Structure 1
Amino acid sequence: MPVKVPERLFALYGFMLSHERPVPRQRIRDSIDAYRSIGSDSAFERTFERDKAALRHLGMKIAAIQDYGETLYRIERENLWLGREEFTPAERLTLGIAARLWSDPNYANDAERAVRRLGYGEQDADGAVALTHVTPRLSGGGGHLETILGALAHGSEVSFSYRSAHSLDTSRRRFRPWGVGQRFDHWYVSGWDADRQALRNFRLSRMTSMSVRESSLPGAPEDFSMQSVLEGISESPAPEVVLRCTVGAAPVVLDWSESGTGLRLQEAFPETDSVTRIVEAAVDVPDVLEFVRCLAELGSGVEFSVPEGQELDEDSVRREVDRTIQRAIDLQGRVSAAVTDRDTEIIEPKRGRNRESNDRRFVRLVDLASYVGSNPGCAIRDISRHLHVSAAQVRQDIDALANASDEILGGAYLRVTAYDDEVFVELPEELGRALNLAPDQTIRLLLAIQLLGQVSPDHARTVEEISRKLVSGANGAGVSSDQLSIRLEPQIAKTVDALRAAADSGRMVEIDYRSRGQTAPSERRVRPHDVYSRGNTWYLEAESPAHAEIRTYRIEAIRGLRVVEAAEDDVVPAQRESRPEPARTLVWVAADAEPLAEVLGGEILGHADVPGSADDGETPQSGLVIEIDVIDWFSLYRLMLHHAGSMALWRARPWTTQWYESAKARGIDVAGSW
């Protein structure tokens, strides 16, 4: 049976560890069956280069040494294995909490595997103080964050297209990342710009078309601090625009201003003209593309003008708004065509399938060899408990380990024997040691730990010590904790801390809260239960005595907060009233719009390809089909327009008529939008 990639990686790792001196490439090929069976030299070269890249991705330093025209290879052993420095029970618990802070399930699962390899177990939750009444989440940032973290870990450089805040056009840039952080609910990366020959900062959401390669650009100096970079980030002067809309559109404009990405009101919303029912307000535009996306939500329902002297092309913005609306309508047409096409089907996800990467399974094979080597005759159930996988997976891994041992000169360096439920392994000392964390795992844990320190001052000292230990034992990550930073804005951090404290003590709070669809806030008295974030938005879940139920509030819409002592007759037992069931519908979300799918939530039914646009050469576009709850259809239409080209309803008929009717019911005229 052909050897699998993790088994071949293990064979290569085991063979190179068994030689302290550098080994010629040809000898490596002759000594491993999987390489020896490859027919051509070019095929071997490609396979060998991929395997080396996989091991290097895990942080292994594979040195290539030239000796009289021949290339020799050696694995450097410094920081190759998990360090001797142990984590205390409190630190292990904190690591376990941090591992769950990533909203992306792939990141979260990988981080949890990492902390278990550092010794975290279910027993660590006993007797320790956990994080209560606050559940922060780090947004995954999509594939771009994965690329940047990898480049940071390995000292690579990144080429990409970048759009500045006040432009609709992009330009190519090339830089080496020095640090990564999050502020203003956005990911930022700082590094050495090859073209400007200086330190520059970039917002991740404005970076596209990335490619990575080895770099000779300067790395981060010792005194570099991403926290200082984030503190120094300030928006360049934003152009001013004057908006005009009906009173019905005013709540939507307030929604945009609260999110702060596309526009910000310069002052409180002015009074409505009693005759025309028109509202006029001056706004700043911090990001012109986000401004366009906001305007597209209401189309002709909002008018704007650019005062003289402002650096913003009014005609270009209008054309882009029209194009954005048209992209949303065109996508819906293509999705509707796919729904009515009998040849198009939703391909269900393969549930229960092991989707871990080859390098992660290779790491588990090393952990398996290490554990069984230290515990001869251990039972399958013991291995299963130690590795946190099923007994069936353990048996598969034992078979894989045996196959890998056969690859190395007929098993001369590793022997696996299983008797009924007992497993024995004969192996050299080097193979009996657990591998260190991969560099990207270390970086993700450091970022999650920093977020934990921001929202939970009680964990600050523990967070500092964990960061020190993670950095001191880092394997090839090439980063310090100073190169990573998560910063909550003071007002958000203050509000989150006050609500968490109220939840801890069971006290009531009064909040001045603006609901969607309203222009002014109203006072609410609630008892906080939990504070959490999803995507880039923070929420409060609280008991509302006035409604006798649990309700959810956007923290960005809380204008005032006061902690109060509740009188006995104010307290009503929390219970959920029966409400009309929200509508259920299917939406299609483009495969490259992961953050949007995360915000929507719902149940992923599978993936489906839809016809491509003419601009893309009609190449089929892949995406997910998700079943979601819909409370307000108008908000859903706005979301599809804001993310034009990335989201559509999975149904045969278009939604433009419903969008028009929903807007009209709110006093907004969007008839001139198409």
Structure 2
Amino acid sequence: MSAKRTERLLTLVIMLLSSRRGFTKEELFEEIDLYREATSVAAREKLFDRDKAALREQGIPLEAYSEDALFDNDNTVQRYRISAENYRLGGVSFLPEEYAVLNLAAGVWDQGSLDSAASRALRKLSSRSTDGGTELTPLIQPRITTDAPYWDTVWQALTSRAPLRFPYRAASTGREEMRTVHPWGMGARFGHWYVVGFDTTRKAERFFRLSRMTGEPVILPGTFEVPASFDMNQTLSSLSRSEPDRIAVVAARPGSCQVLRVRKDTEILQTGEEWDVLRVPYAASSPMAATIAGLGVNARVREPQELAAEVVRLLDDAHAAALAAPEHLEISGRARPAPRRKSSSQDHLLRLLDLVPYLLAHPGAEVGETARRFDVTEVQLTKDLDLLFVSGPRHYPDGLMDVNIEEDRIYLTNARDLAEPVKLSMDEACSLLVGLQALRELPGMRDNEAIISAQTKLTAAAGDAARIGTAVATKLTEDDVDPTLEVLQAALHSNVRVDVDYFVPTRDEITRRLLEPVRIFLHQDTWYLEAWSVDSDGLRNFRLDRIQRATLTDQPATADLDEEFLARDRRSVAPYRSGDADLAVTLLLEPRARWIAAQYNADAVQELGEDRLAARLKVASSAWIPGLVAGLGGSAAVIAPAELRAETLRWLDAARAHQALA
């Protein structure tokens, strides 16, 4: 969006807000100089139509009406206006501690999802927050990502209440079928996004996992009503993981296969010098087979035979992929962050409309602080202020805003029509309401008064847009992690050390650690503890689902950590820390294994066509790579270094020979 178009749109908003009666097109063209730059009457009409569509697209409630009901459909006599009541955010103010938790709620969204909407919502609400400078340092940092396939399309259908049709492969049957659904809500749990709604074929409410959609969903014409009793939080709570209903009998070498031994309800049926015999419950054969394949020569399935055959197939496919992988590949592209849902150019007008009420609520705001709040440079802020100064009707008395900068402080006057923030849009309301609910679900925060009061006020201020708060939900923790999370949170608040038993899959062992917790964060649906390891004398990350036991001690945390370094480091939630001695490993990833690049924080990637990807990872040890490749069953292969490629082939040969002895 060019500066001239932004100026024209801003002037249009100012005029349409200034009169309840509104204006005809001719009156608008007369008052707004930039319309006269059109090369013809037809071009000017087209320009005006585009501007109307742009305002409505960005949530500005532009109305068209006729003063004579007989001419409702006659564009030549229509008048245009923006209803101040529908435009302006309802009267609400937030205490410093409430605005602080709103900041935390906005920070829940990962880049590339609703984070830009959350930032816009905070800008609007900043003019309604009493000054207190309260900031909360989040010791627990959840993250909600919306990188699931077709998320944007499903979101659009949900918010517009439009039917959705998509091809879908059900987990229970494996068959692909076309489904038509009225989407009532969306939710994230167990690392997956789901859409819930009325299945028009089965005439019943159904869950659909977005990652099981096998093609682009299509939004259909029409609309529907959502049952008044529907609440996505309650519906999401009813979703559960498949309970183990099968039993595997596995021979495991003594002291190895800890990943099986620590599973809930695993029994040791027999011990021996060469083999222990384990009874391991499991729910689905594919993940269980992948786990056992990754153990190589240390495990062998005795029962059932179907599971043993699946392990052999994974190893055979991994071996074939390892042989076929290219031996030399130069990666030229660096890993790039996911794009934002909306570009900054599209956000420019909304930023200006948010800037005016903020400056009016904070007279004398510092240039640097204002630029930081609006996430722009001081140079860009100066350009925005210049644009505010020249925007407005030319022929109205005092039609233009006055903008002055004195001693690096901003003063804005004569901006009565834009004094109130724009109402929260659907995605803005969603970002904060769902973020607050996600915080409220975390252990230790469920009865937080600031979160509860901020949630209540925000729901009232959002008006009709607040309905999205019952249509979108996330569940970020589960019962198996909550007890550990509570212990670690207590250690953080008390600033004491914690004694843990930790499962290290790369070494297939359980170790005892003395840790000084720093923060807890969520990445790719997995919780991590960042802590100073007393034993290793360094900062490390630990997966919470691998902590077998966590006990508070009475020993105070004594590590002298660089707070400036930690503040910089906290902007990233990558769970894997790279060091100078790390080895660079390049993997070839098929479409089903592309997640590896994000999960293991690839520092460089190269698209190879057909949705295949080469990814370069930095790892402290490469010993676990052959097991990873084996479990992926042909979806990944080692390209470099050559020594690891050769070692992986030898590892797979030995594992295949071992399984053949069964």
Answer whether TM exceeds 0.5 for this pair.
yes
After TM superposition, give the deviation of residue 596 of structure 1 in Å: 4.9
Matched, 1:37 2:38: yes
For residues 48 and 516 of structure 1, the distance between their equivalents in structure 2, rounded to whole angstroms, comes to: 62
Matched letter for residue 70 of structure 1: D
Matched letter for residue 631 of structure 1: A
Equivalent residue of 1:85, what SS? coil
For residues 121 and 588 of structure 1, the distance between their equivalents in structure 2, rounded to whole angstroms, comes to: 51
Q: Find 1:201's aligned residue among 181, 199, 207.
A: 207
Q: Find 1:164's aligned residue among 165, 170, 174.
A: 170
> 1:323–1:368: structure 2 CA closer, same or farther, 3 Å change rule?
same
TM-score between both structures, scaled by the size of structure 1: 0.73
Question: Match for residue 400 of structure 2?
Answer: 415
Between 1:173-182 and 1:210-219, the stretch displaced more is 210-219
Equivalent residue of 2:197, what SS? strand
* Percent of paired sites with the same residue: 23
Gaps of 5+ in 2: 563-577
Question: Match for residue 121 of structure 2?
Answer: 114
Matched letter for residue 225 of structure 2: G
Aligned runs of 1:486-501 on 2, under 5 Å? 486-487=474-475, 488-501=477-490
For residues 654 and 40 of structure 1, the distance between their equivalents in structure 2, rounded to whole angstroms, comes to: 71
> 1:227–1:345: structure 2 CA closer, same or farther, 3 Å change rule?
closer
For residues 318 and 395 of structure 2, the distance between their equivalents in structure 1, rounded to whole angstroms, comes to: 62
Question: Match for residue 69 of structure 1?
Answer: 73
Q: Would the aligned equivalents of 1:9 and 1:51 in 2 still touch at CA under 8 Å?
A: yes
Question: Match for residue 467 of structure 1?
Answer: 455
Matched, 1:10 2:16: no
Question: Match for residue 617 of structure 1?
Answer: none
Equivalent residue of 2:504, what SS? coil
Aligned runs of 1:227-376 on 2, under 5 Å? 227-235=233-241, 240=246, 242=248, 247=253, 251=257, 254=260, 267-268=266-267, 271=270, 274=273, 277=275, 281-286=279-284, 333=326, 339=329, 345-346=332-333, 356-370=343-357
For residues 283 and 293 of structure 1, the distance between their equivalents in structure 2, rounded to whole angstroms, comes to: 15
Q: Would the aligned equivalents of 2:391 and 2:401 in 1 still touch at CA under 8 Å?
A: no
> 1:415–1:272: structure 2 CA closer, same or farther, 3 Å change rule?
farther
After TM superposition, give the deviation of residue 463 of structure 1 in Å: 1.4
After TM superposition, give the deviation of residue 363 of structure 1 in Å: 0.7
Describe the superposition over 1:128-179 as per-residue Cα deviations: whole angstroms up to 9, x where unpaired. 6x35543333334446444444443343443333333334443332323323
For residues 440 and 464 of structure 1, the distance between their equivalents in structure 2, rounded to whole angstroms, comes to: 20
Describe the superposition over 1:454-506 as per-residue Cα deviations: whole angstroms up to 9, x where unpaired. 22327622212111222222265352533343332233222211221123223
Q: Would the aligned equivalents of 1:61 and 1:76 in 2 still touch at CA under 8 Å?
A: yes
For residues 218 and 490 of structure 1, the distance between their equivalents in structure 2, rounded to whole angstroms, comes to: 36
Equivalent residue of 1:394, what SS? helix
After TM superposition, give the deviation of residue 87 of structure 1 in Å: 0.5
After TM superposition, give the deviation of residue 392 of structure 1 in Å: 0.5
Gaps of 5+ in 1: 259-264, 614-620
For residues 645 and 476 of structure 1, the distance between their equivalents in structure 2, rounded to whole angstroms, comes to: 50
Between 1:68-77 and 1:35-44, the stretch displaced more is 35-44
Question: Match for residue 599 of structure 1?
Answer: 599
Describe the superposition over 1:558-599 as per-residue Cα deviations: whole angstroms up to 9, x where unpaired. 233333445x9xx986899x9982224566889999965443
For residues 325 and 464 of structure 1, the distance between their equivalents in structure 2, rounded to whole angstroms, comes to: 55
Describe the superposition over 1:30-56 as per-residue Cα deviations: whole angstroms up to 9, x where unpaired. 9684697377969976x7777556544
Tell me the C-alpha RMSD between the 2 structures: 5.3
> 1:532–1:6: structure 2 CA closer, same or farther, 3 Å change rule?
same
For residues 424 and 358 of structure 1, the distance between their equivalents in structure 2, rounded to whole angstroms, comes to: 25
Question: Match for residue 560 of structure 1?
Answer: 549
For residues 647 and 400 of structure 1, the distance between their equivalents in structure 2, rounded to whole angstroms, comes to: 52
Matched, 1:536 2:525: yes
Q: Find 1:516's aligned residue among 505, 508, 527.
A: 505
After TM superposition, give the deviation of residue 210 of structure 1 in Å: 4.0
Describe the superposition over 1:184-216 as per-residue Cα deviations: whole angstroms up to 9, x where unpaired. 343333223333333222234334534463664
Question: Match for residue 390 of structure 1?
Answer: 377
Q: Would the aligned equivalents of 2:320 and 2:634 in 1 still touch at CA under 8 Å?
A: no
Equivalent residue of 2:384, what SS? helix
TM-score between both structures, scaled by the size of structure 2: 0.75
Between 1:144-153 and 1:288-297, the stretch displaced more is 288-297
Question: Match for residue 59 of structure 2?
Answer: 59
Question: Match for residue 99 of structure 2?
Answer: 92
Equivalent residue of 2:353, what SS? helix
For residues 117 and 327 of structure 1, the distance between their equivalents in structure 2, rounded to whole angstroms, comes to: 53
Q: Would the aligned equivalents of 2:319 and 2:634 in 1 still touch at CA under 8 Å?
A: no
Q: Would the aligned equivalents of 1:243 and 1:302 in 2 still touch at CA under 8 Å?
A: no
> 1:141–1:502: structure 2 CA closer, same or farther, 3 Å change rule?
same
Question: Match for residue 648 of structure 2?
Answer: 659
Equivalent residue of 1:633, what SS? coil
For residues 543 and 442 of structure 1, the distance between their equivalents in structure 2, rounded to whole angstroms, comes to: 38
Q: Would the aligned equivalents of 2:92 and 2:457 in 1 still touch at CA under 8 Å?
A: yes
Matched letter for residue 368 of structure 1: L
Q: Would the aligned equivalents of 2:158 and 2:183 in 1 still touch at CA under 8 Å?
A: yes
Q: Would the aligned equivalents of 1:132 and 1:504 in 2 still touch at CA under 8 Å?
A: no
Between 1:374-383 and 1:198-207, the stretch displaced more is 374-383
After TM superposition, give the deviation of residue 26 of structure 1 in Å: 8.8
Q: Find 1:178's aligned residue among 151, 167, 184.
A: 184
Between 1:450-459 and 1:314-323, the stretch displaced more is 314-323
Q: Would the aligned equivalents of 2:434 and 2:473 in 1 still touch at CA under 8 Å?
A: yes
For residues 411 and 504 of structure 1, the distance between their equivalents in structure 2, rounded to whole angstroms, comes to: 59
